[in-house]
């Protein structure tokens, strides 16, 4: 027997449906046929799920009126005419208790480790805003965070997840929502109206998961928000929806900086789920931190790596993690397909790109130190900005300051997708950048060029490595030659020698480029005091320069041979070589090149005791530096001036030159210049009676020389040994050693 609702209680639609069927004596199937709906729909109505649309209600009213049912059984719910029925139907919709929508989901919450702050932020945002999109790269944990936020949200009449990973048409989104909120579609009513009616005025929270492949979803979502005033939507997507109502929450990778970081905690937890007997020593936690950092702090990658400990040791895993995509296995089978492996996750984003965006991404994969927007524009032209924005929004690259960087795991993927021509584009950019900056080293832009070289050096070095690996001798020589000015300016002597020797071992370069590499190798090995190698390279270069009548080349080769002669005590030979160097460089009109042999002639005069001549030569070289704004050559010349001035009893002039040398070298990041300057300053302090300070400065200089692999030149070494003997006689050996330790410790402190 049906119990009618109380006088103020609105009947539910289930009450109405059962009362109508009783009036007719209909089974559910007959009733459904009369209203042109399915039996399943009637069953859902009578379980309190869903409600009819306006057309079905009108069919019901017409049916009851036609069969004069109002005068009979239907009075059980207080209906005696069609108007009463319309009112009852209206009240049954308004009075129905809000449904609690099923939010069950087989979703691991392990990824929430280290996400407590983010979870609180998402809760706050979905309370304040009606559309919140969690964005971030694949595998960063967007779905896990969103699901946790959904499960722990208060203040909503219902919450549900709509999984869209398998949906390929935005038109099907509404169908997915309708199914999750139990809104039945009826003939004559659109799916959009069905969803809007199903949501009604309730305060619901929908999680739309994995929207990045459905850009057409934006207008659908915008319409729902406009039509359902209490609806809140939490979305996950690798790219934002770009709606005015949207608030984007960018989810970053987990911190993996040390053994106490969230990345390590996630790894340990996942590993122990895979093997509950696992424990980790403190040293192993540090190894795990490095492993997690090399996986870019991506929770998906970290969990996949941890699961590998079922089969391999931590040490073996750590040693192989540079091949992350090959080493990491599959995740749980209940995850979406694109989240089961790291490769699948990255490929999902990659496949959503346009052809132009993919091409740009493949080239940017070569940039190990990241790239600038200008670099992207040189590759992709006017459309580069839009393409870069798309890659950033997809989480495939990230912006840090003015540079765009690619996660290492993404770079590994790109390496497997190599497209013909992408390496050529990178090579062309490398050559253009290096040669352009090399030309700027001679002029007022010298410091700026050195800074640009420093920013791009990992990329330029990668380009050189690629050319060498490909046996491309011509371009390897071009690039190595362009880098020599940077290696010299930043005192990277061993680095320069290594790459130049590898370059010389390749074939395909013309004689002029090979002579240039020999010349630079002679220069760098001479600075390392490897005089035999320096002389050999200089002679090789000299033969080629002479054969091709290149005065500037001959001048540089003679400069190196002059330096070798001076270091071996053959001062007459040294001066002969240096005068010939000056003559050749003047003939070539190479004013920049003249600076070094002129200063070297001053060093030779100093060694022979011709102090006034030495000072004259050094000042001539310094004046040329100032006129040409060649700051890179100034530190060594100023140090020479300081040493000569001390011997001429000009302590003030010596100190001024040494201070200026240290200032310029420090500004340029020229560590060789800094080391020489500290040496000269030590000599100035000794003459000024500050013996302890002099010893400390010498110790600093000595440590820097050792770190740079840079022997002290013979003429300077002899003078320092003389001055050190004086310092020991003043301080005593114990105090002398104590101040040496202070100076050495200062360098160590500066390095940390």
Structure tokens that stand for 405 in this block: 């960087």
Say whether pLDDT at 717 is over 70: yes
How far is 114 from 131, CA to CA, in rounded Å?
24
- Higher pLDDT, residue 322 or 211: 211
**In the prediction, which pLDDT does 154 show?**
80
**In the prediction, which pLDDT does 11 show?**
58
Structure tokens that stand for 682 in this block: 């030590």
| DSSP symbols for 529-564 | T-HHHHHHHHHHHHHHHHHTT-HHHHHHHHHHHHHH
**In the prediction, which pLDDT does 106 show?**
40
Say whether pLDDT at 191 is over 60: yes
Which SS3 state, helix, strand or coil, does residue 353 take?
A: coil
Structure tokens that stand for 675 in this block: 């080391």
Phi, psi dihedrals of residue 653, rounded to the nearest 5° = -65, -35
**In the prediction, which pLDDT does 91 show?**
52
The region of weakest confidence among 10-14, 487-491, 735-739 is 10-14
For 608-642, b/e burial (b = at least 16 CB within 10 A) is eeebebbbebbbbbbebbeebebbbbbbbbbbbbb
Read off the DSSP letter of residue 246.
Answer: E
**In the prediction, which pLDDT does 109 show?**
46
Structure tokens that stand for 563 in this block: 């330096």
How far is 710 from 675, CA to CA, in rounded Å?
10
Phi, psi dihedrals of residue 54, rounded to the nearest 5° = -60, -40
How far is 147 from 683, CA to CA, in rounded Å?
69
The region of weakest confidence among 78-82, 168-172, 621-625, 728-732 is 78-82
Structure tokens that stand for 131 in this block: 């559309």
The predicted model gives 358-367 an average pLDDT of 88
pLDDT > 70 in the chain, percent: 85
- How far is the CA of 16 from the CAs of 1, 22, 29, in angstroms? 14, 10, 16
Confidence at 469, pLDDT banded by 50, 70, 90: very high
The region of weakest confidence among 40-49, 165-174, 313-322 is 40-49
- How far is the CA of 336 from the CAs of 85, 103, 164, 659, in angstroms? 48, 17, 10, 65
The predicted model gives 298-315 an average pLDDT of 85
User: All domains of the chain, ordered by start, with CATH?
Assistant: 13-95 (1.10.260), 110-250 (3.40.50.300), 262-343 (no CATH), 353-417 (1.10.10.10), 424-620 (1.25.40.10), 631-751 (1.25.40)
**In the prediction, which pLDDT does 92 show?**
54
Structure tokens that stand for 504 in this block: 């010389």
| DSSP symbols for 428-479 | HHHHHHHHHHHHHTSSTTHHHHHHHHHHHHHHHHHHHHHHHHTT-HHHHHHH
Residue 593 and residue 551 in contact, taking contact as beta carbons nearer than 8 Å:
no
How far is 167 from 509, CA to CA, in rounded Å?
56
**In the prediction, which pLDDT does 3 show?**
34
- The three-point CA angle 727-672-667 to 5° equals 110
Structure tokens that stand for 73 in this block: 């059984």
pLDDT > 90 in the chain, percent: 43
Say whether pLDDT at 503 is over 90: yes
The region of weakest confidence among 243-252, 462-471, 682-691, 697-706 is 697-706
Collect contacts of 37-44 with beta carbons under 8 A, ≥24 apart.
37/184, 37/186, 37/187, 41/184, 41/186, 42/17, 44/182, 44/184
How many Cα atoms within 13 Å fall on the side-chain side of residue 431? 14
**In the prediction, which pLDDT does 300 show?**
86
Confidence at 588, pLDDT banded by 50, 70, 90: very high
**In the prediction, which pLDDT does 96 show?**
39
Q: What is the pTM of this model?
A: 0.67
What mean pLDDT, rounded, does the chain reach? 84
The region of weakest confidence among 10-24, 416-430, 483-497 is 10-24
- 407-420 confidence digits (pLDDT tens): 888 888 888 776 65
How far is 438 from 48, CA to CA, in rounded Å?
78
- Higher pLDDT, residue 179 or 456: 456
- Higher pLDDT, residue 443 or 580: 580
How far is 646 from 640, CA to CA, in rounded Å?
10
Say whether pLDDT at 131 is over 80: yes
How far is 323 from 328, CA to CA, in rounded Å?
9
- How far is the CA of 84 from the CAs of 3, 5, 65, 77, 89, in angstroms? 18, 15, 12, 10, 9
The region of weakest confidence among 169-183, 323-337, 435-449 is 323-337
Stated as kind and residue range, the H or E segment containing 209 is: strand 204-209
The region of weakest confidence among 408-412, 458-462, 603-607, 690-694 is 408-412
Secondary structure of 22-88 as H, E, C letters = HHHCCCHHHHHHHHCCCHHHHHHHHCCCCCCCHHHHHHHHHHHHHCCHHHCHHHHHCCCCHHHHHHH
Residue 645 and residue 638 in contact, taking contact as beta carbons nearer than 8 Å:
no
Name the nearest CA neighbour of 142 among 208, 63, 47: 208
**In the prediction, which pLDDT does 114 show?**
86
Name the nearest CA neighbour of 101 among 224, 198, 221: 198
Structure tokens that stand for 751 in this block: 């390095």
**In the prediction, which pLDDT does 745 show?**
87
The predicted model gives 454-471 an average pLDDT of 93
Largest CA distance in the chain: 133
Identify the top-confidence range among 57-66, 343-352, 543-552, 733-742: 543-552
How crowded is residue 718: how many other Cβ atoms within 10 Å of its Cβ?
A: 12
**In the prediction, which pLDDT does 80 show?**
58
Q: Measure the N-to-C terminal CA separation of the chain; round to a whole number of Å.
A: 86
Confidence at 218, pLDDT banded by 50, 70, 90: very high
Read off the DSSP letter of residue 396.
Answer: S
Phi, psi dihedrals of residue 448, rounded to the nearest 5° = -65, -40
Read off the DSSP letter of residue 255.
Answer: P
The predicted model gives 80-97 an average pLDDT of 53
Cβ contacts of 525 within 8 Å, gap of 6 or more: 497, 531, 533, 534, 537
The predicted model gives 176-191 an average pLDDT of 77
Residue 202 and residue 98 in contact, taking contact as beta carbons nearer than 8 Å:
yes
Say whether pLDDT at 187 is over 80: no
Confidence at 746, pLDDT banded by 50, 70, 90: confident
The region of weakest confidence among 4-18, 577-591, 662-676 is 4-18
Residue 739 and residue 695 in contact, taking contact as beta carbons nearer than 8 Å:
yes
Say whether pLDDT at 590 is over 90: yes
Residue 578 and residue 600 in contact, taking contact as beta carbons nearer than 8 Å:
yes
Residue 467 and residue 502 in contact, taking contact as beta carbons nearer than 8 Å:
no
């Amino acid at each position: 027997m049906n119990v009618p609702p109380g006088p103020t209680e609105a009947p539910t639609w289930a009450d109405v449906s059962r009362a109508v069927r009783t009036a007719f004596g209909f089974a559910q199937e007959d009733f459904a046929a009369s209203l042109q709906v399915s039996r399943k729909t009637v069953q859902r109505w009578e379980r309190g799920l869903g409600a009819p649309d306006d057309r079905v209600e009108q069919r019901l009213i017409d049916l009851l009126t036609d069969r004069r049912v109002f005068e009979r059984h239907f009075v059980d719910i207080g209906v005696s005419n069609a108007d009463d029925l319309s009112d009852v139907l209206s009240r049954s919709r308004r009075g129905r208790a809000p449904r609690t929508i099923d939010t069950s989901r087989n979703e691991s919450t392990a990824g929430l480790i280290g996400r407590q702050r983010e979870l609180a932020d998402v809760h706050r945002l979905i309370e304040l805003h009606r559309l919140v999109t969690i964005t971030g790269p694949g595998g960063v944990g967007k779905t896990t965070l969103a699901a946790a936020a959904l499960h722990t949200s208060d203040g909503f009449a219902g919450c549900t997840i709509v999984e869209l990973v398998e949906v390929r048409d935005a038109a099907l989104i509404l169908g997915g929502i309708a199914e999750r909120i139990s809104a039945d579609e009826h003939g004559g009513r659109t799916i959009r109206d069905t969803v809007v009616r199903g949501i009604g005025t309730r305060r619901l929270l929908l999680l739309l998961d994995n929207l990045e492949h459905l850009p057409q979803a934006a207008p659908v979502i915008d319409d729902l928000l406009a039509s359902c005033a209490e609806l809140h939507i939490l979305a996950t997507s690798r790219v934002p929806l770009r709606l005015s109502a949207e608030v984007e929450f960018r989810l970053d990778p987990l911190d993996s900086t040390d053994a106490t970081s969230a990345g390590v905690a996630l790894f340990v937890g996942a590993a122990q789920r895979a093997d509950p007997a696992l424990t980790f020593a403190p040293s192993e936690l540090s190894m795990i931190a490095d492993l997690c950092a090399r996986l870019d702090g991506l929770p998906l990658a970290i969990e996949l790596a941890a699961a590998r400990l079922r089969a391999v040791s931590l040490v073996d895993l750590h040693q192989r993690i540079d091949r992350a995509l090959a080493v990491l296995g599959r995740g749980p089978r209940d995850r979406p397909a694109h989240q089961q492996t790291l490769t699948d996750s990255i490929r999902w984003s990659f496949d959503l790109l346009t052809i132009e965006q993919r091409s740009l991404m493949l080239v940017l994969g070569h940039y190990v130190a990241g790239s600038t927007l200008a670099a992207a524009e040189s590759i992709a032209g006017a459309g580069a900005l839009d393409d870069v924005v798309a890659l950033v929004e997809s989480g495939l690259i990230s912006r840090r300051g003015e540079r765009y960087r690619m996660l290492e795991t993404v770079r590994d993927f790109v390496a497997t997708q190599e497209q013909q021509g992408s390496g050529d584009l990178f090579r062309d950019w490398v050559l253009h950048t290096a040669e352009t900056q090399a030309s700027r080293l001679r002029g007022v832009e010298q410091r700026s060029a050195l800074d640009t070289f420093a920013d791009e050096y990992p990329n330029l070095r990668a380009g050189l490595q690629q050319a060498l690996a490909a046996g491309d001798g011509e371009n390897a020589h071009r690039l190595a030659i362009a880098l020599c000015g940077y290696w010299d300016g930043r005192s990277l002597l061993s680095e320069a020698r290594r790459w130049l020797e590898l370059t010389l071992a390749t074939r395909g370069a013309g004689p002029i480029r090979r002579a240039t590499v020999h010349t630079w190798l002679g220069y760098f090995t001479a600075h390392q005091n490897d005089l035999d190698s320096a002389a050999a390279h200089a002679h090789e270069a000299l033969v080629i320069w002479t054969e091709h009548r290149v005065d500037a080349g001959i001048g540089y080769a003679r400069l190196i041979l002059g330096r070798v002669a001076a270091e071996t005590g053959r001062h007459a030979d040294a001066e002969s070589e240096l005068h010939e160097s000056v003559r050749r460089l003047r003939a070539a009109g190479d004013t920049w090149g003249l600076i070094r042999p002129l200063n070297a002639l001053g060093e030779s005069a100093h060694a022979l005791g011709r102090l006034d001549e030495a000072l004259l030569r050094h000042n001539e070289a310094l004046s040329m530096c100032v006129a040409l704004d060649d700051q890179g050559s100034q530190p060594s010349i100023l140090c020479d001036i300081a040493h000569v001035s001390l011997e001429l009893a000009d302590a003030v002039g010596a100190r001024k030159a040494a201070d200026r040398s240290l200032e310029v070298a420090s500004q340029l990041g020229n560590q060789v210049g800094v080391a020489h300057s500290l040496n000269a300053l030590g000599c100035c302090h000794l003459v000024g009676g500050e013996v302890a300070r002099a010893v400390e400065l010498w110790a600093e200089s000595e440590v820097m020389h050792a770190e740079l692999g840079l022997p002290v030149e013979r003429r300077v070494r002899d003078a320092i040994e003389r001055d050190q003997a004086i310092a020991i006689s003043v301080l005593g050996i114990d105090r002398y050693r104590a101040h040496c330790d202070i100076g050495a410790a200062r360098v160590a402190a500066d390095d940390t």
